[in-house]
Amino acid sequence: MMNGKRIVKWVFAFACTIMAGCGFALAGEGYGLYKNAVQEVSLEEKVNEIRSQESFTSLEDMPETYVQAVVSVEDHRFYDHFGLDLIAIGRAVVNDIKAGRYVEGGSTITQQLAKNLYFSQEKTMNRKAAEVFLALELEQKYTKDEILELYVNSIYFGDGYYSVGEASEGYFGKPASEMNDYECTLLAGVPNAPSKYAPSKNLALAEKRQQKVLSRMEACGYITEEETTIMAAQLVALN
C-alpha cells in the first residue's frame, strides 16, 4: 500500500507532466492508448517475455561499471525520481518551445522502458502521455533495480541486438557479465543512436561517444577526475 505522501507526490508529478508536456486535452487520449495497450497484453506478460529470453542478464551479473555508465549517461537521477524527471521535462519543454516543435522529451529510463515495451518510436504527444501512465505503473509494480534490469535487456544496440547480453556476445564474443571497462563504457553509449554508435558501424565515433560516457560518470560522482584520466588511458591501451 502506498502512503499518503507518495500518492500526493505521484498526483503532483503527473499533473505537472501532463500540463508541461502533453496538455489536458491529450491526457485522455494518452490514457486511452495506455489502457488499450495493457489490456491487449498485460504488463506482467511483457515483463515475463523479457525475462524468459535466452540472452537475459540479471543486474547482479552485470559489471558495476556498466550499470554506473548506463545510469550516468541515460538518467542520472534514476534512483531519486519516481519514473518522471520534472527537471528534465521542464528543460525539454523550454527546448521544444525554442525549436517550435517537439524535439526533446526528457524521458527517464522508466519512460524509455515503457516505450520499448508497448509503443513506437514515433514522437507524438498522445503517445508521450501514454508513456507517462505506463511509467507510473512500472514504478508502482517494480523496484528500481528491476526496471533498470528490464531496460538494458530490451533496448536496441544496433546490428539486430535487442539486449545487453546479445550486444556483448555479438560485438565482443562474450557474455555481458565478462565485459571489461572498455566494453562496458563503449556499450553504454550505443543505444543513444545505434545507427551511429554501433562499434561495427563506426568505432571511432563509438569511442567518441564513450568519452562522453566517462565524462558523465565523473559528473555523477561514480569516478573522480583522476580516475577518468586513468580509465581513459586504460581504454586506449585495451583497444
Q: Are residues 113 and 142 in the same domain?
A: yes
Whole-number Å distance between alpha carbons of 213 and 172: 19
Whole-angstrom distance, CA of residue 6 vs CA of residue 13: 10
Are residue 234 and residue 148 in the same domain, yes or no?
no
40: Cα within 13 Å, side-chain hemisphere: 9
Domain span at residue 101 reads 1-58+78-154
CATH of the domain at 205: 1.10.3810.10
User: Do residues 192 and 219 share a domain?
Assistant: yes
Residue 235's pLDDT is what? Answer: 73
User: Would you state the pLDDT for residue 97?
Assistant: 47
The span from the CA of 125 to the CA of 193, in Å, is 22
Calculate the alpha carbon distances from 237 to 98, 173, 215, 231 in Å.
Answer: 43, 19, 18, 10
Query: Are residue 139 and residue 207 in the same domain, yes or no?
Result: no
Phi/psi for 124 (5° steps) reads: -120, 155
Each residue's pLDDT tens digit, 152-210: 999 999 999 999 999 999 999 999 999 999 999 999 999 999 999 999 999 999 999 99
> Would you say residue 72 lies in a domain?
no
- Do 214 and 165 lie in one domain? The reply is yes
Number of domains in the chain: 2
Tell me if 85 is assigned to some domain: yes
Residue that terminates a domain, selected from 154, 176, 209: 154
Residue 234: the pLDDT is 74
Same domain membership, residue 10 and residue 103: yes
Residue 114 lies in a domain: yes
Q: In this structure, are 19 and 114 located in the same domain?
A: yes
Q: Which of the pair, 161 or 98, is modelled with greater confidence?
A: 161
> Which of 53-62, 88-97, 119-128 has the highest average model confidence (pLDDT)?
53-62
Task: Please say if the pLDDT value at position 103 is more than 70.
Answer: no
Q: Give the total residue count for the chain.
A: 239
Please identify, among 154, 189, 211, the residue that sits at the C-terminal boundary of a domain: 154
Residues 105 and 30 in one domain: yes
Rounded Cα–Cα distance for residues 34 and 132 (Å) = 9
Residue 68 lies in a domain: no
Distance CA(225)–CA(154), nearest Å, equals 32
C-alpha cell at 225: 577526475
In a domain, residue 6? The reply is: yes
Claim to verify: residue 16 and residue 114 sit in the same structural domain: yes
- Beta-carbon contacts of 167 under 8 Å, excluding residues fewer than 6 positions away, are 157, 158, 159, 161, 176, 187, 190
Query: CB–CB of 158/200 below 8 Å?
Result: yes
My answer on whether 125 and 204 are in the same domain is no
Verify that 150 and 52 share a domain, yes or no.
yes
> What confidence score (pLDDT) does residue 206 get?
95
Instruction: Check whether residue 108 and residue 207 sit in a common domain.
Output: no
